[in-house]
Amino acid sequence: MILLRLILLGPPGAGKGTQAVNIVKKYNIPHISTGDMFRKNIKEGTDLGIKAKEYIDKGLLVPDDLTVAIVKDRLTENDCKEGFLLDGFPRTVNQADSLDEELKGLSYELDNVINIEVSKDDLTQRAVGRRICKDCGATYHIDFNPSRVEKICDVCSGELIQRKDDTVETVSKRIEVYLEQTEPLIDYYEKKGILINIDGKQDINKVFEDIVKSLGRE
C-alpha cells in the first residue's frame, strides 16, 4: 500500500474535484473535502451547516474555527492512518499553521501539496459551466467534462445541477477571495519544499498524468 498525505490546492474552477477523484482512486486514500462536509451539514440542517451556508452563499470563506474543527475530527478517523487527500483545506496561512499543529499531534507529515494553476479568465468560464450531481456530488462541466447523458450523472444517474454560487458574480468574488487569502499558501508550502505546480489548462487526463509523475508513486 502506498502511504500518501496530500493537499490539493487551486483556485475555484481549476478542476480540483475531478483530479481529487482520480487521486483517491489510484492511491486508495480517503478524500477529505471540506466542501462536501459543509454541503452534507447544510443538507441535514445542522448548526454548522446553517452557519456555513451564510458564508458559502455569498462566495466567502467559512471562518477558520468552523473549518478547523471539522477537519480535525476527520483526521482522527482510522482510514486516515494510511494517508489522505485534503481538498479545500487549508485555505489560509492561519489554517495551514493550525493544520501543522494537528498533524504533529497525530505524528503525521505531509508528503506533497499539489497546486493546479489556471488563469482567471479560464476559471470564470469553467465555474459557470460546472455541474454537480445533487445525489453523489460527482463533478462535471458542460464543455470540458460532460456527462454521457445530458443532466444525468454517470455514476449514480442522479440529476446534475448548477450550484447557486456558480454565477459570474459569485465566481468573480470567490476568485478575489482566493487571490487575497489562499494564494499565499503557495509560498508557504514552496518554502517547505513540498509544493508541486501543475498546469491545469491541459486536458483532464494530461493533468492527472502530470500529477502522478510529479508524485513519483506510480
Domain coordinates of the chain in residue numbers?
4-119+172-215
Q: Which candidate in 5, 16, 39, 126 is catalytic?
A: 16
Lowest mean pLDDT among 48-57, 85-94, 107-116: 48-57
Report percent pLDDT > 70 for the chain.
99
Q: Which candidate in 53, 72, 163, 173 is catalytic?
A: 163
Q: Rounded CA gap, 18 and 14, in Å?
A: 9
Do β-strands 160-161 and 130-133 pair in parallel, antiparallel, or remain unpaired? antiparallel
To the nearest whole number, what is the mean pLDDT of the chain?
88
pLDDT at 133: 95
Dump pLDDT digits (tens) for 24-72: 999 999 999 887 778 877 888 888 788 888 888 888 878 888 888 778 8
pLDDT at 155: 96
Residues 93-108: what's their mean pLDDT? Answer: 91
The phi, psi pair for 74, rounded to 5°, reads -65, -40
Angle at which helices 184-191 and 93-105 cross, to 10°: 40
pLDDT at 114: 97
- Name which of 15, 23, 120 is nearest 7 in CA terms: 23
CB atoms within 10 A of CB 64: 16
Q: Rounded CA gap, 139 and 27, in Å?
A: 20
**3-state DSSP assignment of residue 33:** strand
Report residue 52 as a C-alpha cell.
456555513
Is 163 part of the annotated catalytic residue set? yes
Position 84 confidence tier, pLDDT thresholds 50, 70, 90? very high
Q: In this structure, are residues 207 and 198 in contact, taking their beta carbons and an 8 Å threshold?
A: yes
Between 35 and 194, the more confident residue is 194
Domain over 4-119+172-215 is classified CATH 3.40.50.300: yes
Residues 168-177: what's their mean pLDDT? Answer: 83
Q: Rounded CA gap, 211 and 39, in Å?
A: 27
Report residue 210 as a C-alpha cell.
502530470
Q: What is the DSSP string of 168-217?
A: HHHHHHHHHHIIIIITHHHHHHHHTT-EEEEETTS-HHHHHHHHHHHHT-
Residue the block writes with cell 496561512: 93
Is 39 part of the annotated catalytic residue set? no
pLDDT at 1 over 60: no
pLDDT at 160 over 90: yes
Q: Rounded CA gap, 109 and 18, in Å?
A: 25
pLDDT at 214: 95
Is 174 part of the annotated catalytic residue set? yes
Q: Rounded CA gap, 142 and 128, in Å?
A: 9
Helices within 59-183 (DSSP H only):
64-75, 93-105, 120-128, 168-177
Q: In this structure, are residues 41 and 53 in contact, taking their beta carbons and an 8 Å threshold?
A: no
Between 88 and 54, the more confident residue is 54
- CA–CA distance from 197 to each of 80, 99, 102, 160 (Å)? 24, 21, 25, 30
The pTM (predicted TM-score) of the whole model is: 0.74
Q: Which candidate in 5, 74, 131, 174 is catalytic?
A: 174
Q: Which candidate in 5, 39, 91, 131 is catalytic?
A: 91
Position 2 confidence tier, pLDDT thresholds 50, 70, 90? low
